[in-house]
Structure 1
Amino acid sequence: MSSKKLINKVVDGKHISPVLPEEVKNYLIDIDGTVCDDIPNEEPERMATANVYPDALETLNKWYDQGHIITFFTSRLEEHREVTETWLKEHGFKYHGIMFGKPRGGNYHWVDNHIVRATRFEGKFTDLVDKTTKIQVFKS
């Protein structure tokens, strides 16, 4: 699989967002506390020396190489872009993009007209497995 399999759409001569084939996953990955030491924005001097969590690099790069989309979604601020991109490059992370300024806290709700899967990181990167759990949905 390759990210080149994205289906680029043109409508009325204008490019619109590409369509992901069904087999391609679009991963939004947190940085601090997920792929490396949990470093608050108040301590940016530590960002350059953060330790990579075990298996994070290998797993994310494997997903990238399989053609999945890897985008980091972090609470780091835009002013941390240079140190963040340098750190990711030095450690060999492969990715497609980074979004900065994610609100801090853990009560995230993503509302979308497509299926969204959420996986809470609990200390170890592995292959994902199917699991049934209780979720919140809109009333019928």
Structure 2
Amino acid sequence: MLAHLHPHSLLAVDLDGTLCHSEYWGKGTPKPIKENIAIVKKLYFAGYHIVIYTARNPSFRMVTEHWLQKNGVWYHALVMGERKMGFDLLIDDKAINSKDFFDGNIWKQIMR
């Protein structure tokens, strides 16, 4: 499943439910999932291209960028809205199960 991944692969990482405890942006400030953020940072420094990929409305861009910076999320780009994009792997609480990716140590397989 992950054999095609290598440093410089494009990893799209969902925000809500994956990097923060939030299903809906707009109510309060979501709490970070620190363990997942730490793994994304490791992947970033290992050479993977990290794109934060969220369905949030682009009108929340500044607030979202502030949250990412405040919580130490390392990334190359932020894609917001319903825009489609190509990627090598999508890490999302509704696609590849983010719990399996982070807690099941799937992320370690691509670091080899």
So what's the TM-score if we normalise by structure 1? 0.58
Deviations along 1:98-136, one digit per CA (max 9) or x if unpaired, are 111138xxxxxx8x7x9x545321277244266xxxxxx
CA gap 1:117/1:123 in 2 versus in 1, 3 angstroms:
closer
CA RMSD between the two structures: 2.9
Aligned length: 98
The 3 A distance-change label for structure 1 pair 69 and 45 is same
Provide the secondary structure at the position in 2 that maps to 1:55.
Answer: helix
- TM-score, length-scaled by structure 2: 0.71
Please state which structure has a larger fraction of its residues in strand: 2
What is the Cα deviation at residue 24 of structure 1? 2.4
> Which structure: greater helix fraction?
2
Match of 2:21 among 34, 37, 40: 37
Structure 1 residues 65 and 117: alpha-carbon distance in aligned structure 2, compared to 1, 3 A threshold? closer
**Which moved further from structure 2: 32-41 or 78-87?**
32-41
Unaligned 5+ segments in structure 2 are: 91-95
Report 1 or 2 for greater relative contact order, CA contacts < 8 Å, sequence distance ≥ 6: 2
Q: Which amino acid aligns with 1:35?
A: L
Q: Is the 8 A contact 2:14 2:53 kept in 1?
A: yes
Rg comparison, structure with higher value = 1
Give me the identity figure in percent: 24
